[in-house]
């Protein structure tokens, strides 16, 4: 069965800290995504990656960067955490060869609190 | 641009009641449409999908019909259970784009009481 694993369920960080959110998938998927989920706003795409070392900005990339050194791992980086980045972060993957209407596979999320 | 609008929640129903969650979309071309569900403490999972006009997606007693004339994809279930309590997201993908990128609505929380 498809599995997307996010390393932390809950994180509490201080303003200004550098924060790493890690995501690993075991399906050999090319495409990986980082979304943030906020009440009333749904899911908004931060960044996605369609291959190792390749990345594209999503709808809300400001304040974030990403790293994809290996196919199975996609990291989201908050260079200097701020309180408005307190949110639920969801990682997802999607495979080449899948049709355009194949589903995304999501991790269980990381709830980040920045104090 | 493309967008998805869902009805405001939360929706609170008694067990065995009929459920409708409205979803309308704006898109160019011919998108595929999806409903995803998020149970407490979990990530999203695909509930059902439809890829062209008049298609009906169905799963676990839920149904939704792709209505191009009204640009809608409303989710329905005839008799809800307590275990259906979750957040439901409507989403669309651009059919011409083979990336897996989806545009999500804001989500609708459903609470079913015994």
pLDDT tens-digit readout, B24-58: 999 887 888 999 999 998 889 999 999 889 999 99
Give per-residue pLDDT as tens, A66-91: 999 999 999 999 999 999 999 999 99
pLDDT at B41: 86
DSSP state of A103: P
**d(C-alpha A89, C-alpha A81), whole Å:** 14
Beta bridge partners of residue A107, listed in sequence order: none
- DSSP letters spanning B21-69: E-EEEE-SS--EEEEEEE-TTS-EEEEEEE-STT-EEEETTEEEE-BTT
Q: How far is CA B96 from CA A46, A67, A99, in A?
A: 21, 27, 10
Q: What is the mean pLDDT of chain B?
A: 91
Tens of pLDDT, residue by residue over B47-90, are 999 988 999 999 999 999 999 999 999 999 999 999 999 999 99
Contact A48, A55 (CB under 8 A): yes
Q: What is the pLDDT of residue B7?
A: 85
Unique residue bearing structure tokens 């149970």: B39
**Is residue A100 pLDDT above 60, yes or no?**
no
pLDDT band for position A114 (cuts 50, 70, 90): very high
Q: Which residues on adjacent β-strands are paired with residue A76?
A: A21, A66
CB neighbour list of residue A1: distance below 8 Å, 6 or more residues apart: none
Residues facing residue A31 across a β-bridge? A94
Residue A1 has pLDDT above 80, yes or no: no
Residue whose C-alpha is closest to residue A33's, from A7, A8, A58, A16: A58
Output the pLDDT for position B2.
85
Interatomic CA distance for residues A109 and B15, integer angstroms: 29
| Largest pairwise CA distance in chain A | 42
- Report yes or no: A90 and A43 within 8 Å, Cβ to Cβ: yes
Q: Is B106 a residue whose pLDDT tops 90?
A: yes
CB contact under 8 A, A42 and B42: no
Length of chain A: 115
- Mean pLDDT value across chain A: 91
Q: State pLDDT tens for residues A16-62.
A: 999 999 999 998 888 999 999 998 888 999 999 988 989 999 999 99
Give the minimum alpha-carbon distance from B114 to chain A in angstroms, rounded to a whole number.
Answer: 25
Spell out which residues of chain B touch residue A90, defining contact as CB-CB under 8 Å: 43-44
CA distance A82 to chain B (A): 23
Residue ranges of chain B whose CB lies within 8 Å of a chain A CB? 4, 6, 32, 34, 36, 41-46, 49, 51, 89, 93-102, 104-107
Q: Are A35 and A46 in contact (CB under 8 A)?
A: yes
Size of interface A-B (CB pairs under 8 A): 69
Straight-line distance from the first to the last Cα atom of chain B, in angstroms, rounded to the nearest whole number: 41
Query: Could you give the CA distance from residue B54 to residue B64 in angstroms, rounded to a whole number?
Result: 10
Output the pLDDT for position B95.
53
Residue A102: HSE in the Cβ half-sphere, 13 Å Cα cutoff: 17
Spatial contact of A45 and A91, defined as CB atoms under 8 Å apart:
no
């Amino acid at each position: 069965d498809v599995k997307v694993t996010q390393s932390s369920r809950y994180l509490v960080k201080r303003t200004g800290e550098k924060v790493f959110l890690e995501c690993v998938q075991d399906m050999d998927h090319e495409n990986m995504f980082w979304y943030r989920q906020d009440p009333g706003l749904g899911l908004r795409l931060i960044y996605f990656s369609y291959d190792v070392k390749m990345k594209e900005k999503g709808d809300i990339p400001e304040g974030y960067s990403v790293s994809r050194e290996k196919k199975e791992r996609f990291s989201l980086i908050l260079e200097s955490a701020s309180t408005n980045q307190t949110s639920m972060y969801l990682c997802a993957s999607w495979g080449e060869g899948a049709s355009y209407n194949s589903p995304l596979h999501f991790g269980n999320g990381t709830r980040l609190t920045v104090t | 641009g493309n967008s998805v609008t869902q009805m405001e929640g939360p929706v609170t129903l008694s067990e065995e009641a009929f459920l409708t969650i409205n979803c309308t979309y704006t898109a160019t071309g011919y998108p595929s449409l999806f409903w995803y569900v998020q149970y407490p403490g979990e990530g999203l999972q695909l509930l059902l999908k439809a890829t062209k006009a008049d298609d009906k997606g169905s799963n676990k007693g839920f149904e939704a019909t792709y209505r191009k004339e009204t640009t809608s994809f409303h989710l329905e279930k005839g008799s809800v259970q307590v275990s259906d309590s979750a957040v439901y997201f409507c989403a669309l993908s651009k059919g011409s784009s083979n990336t897996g990128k989806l545009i999500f609505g804001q989500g609708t929380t459903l609470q079913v009481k015994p």
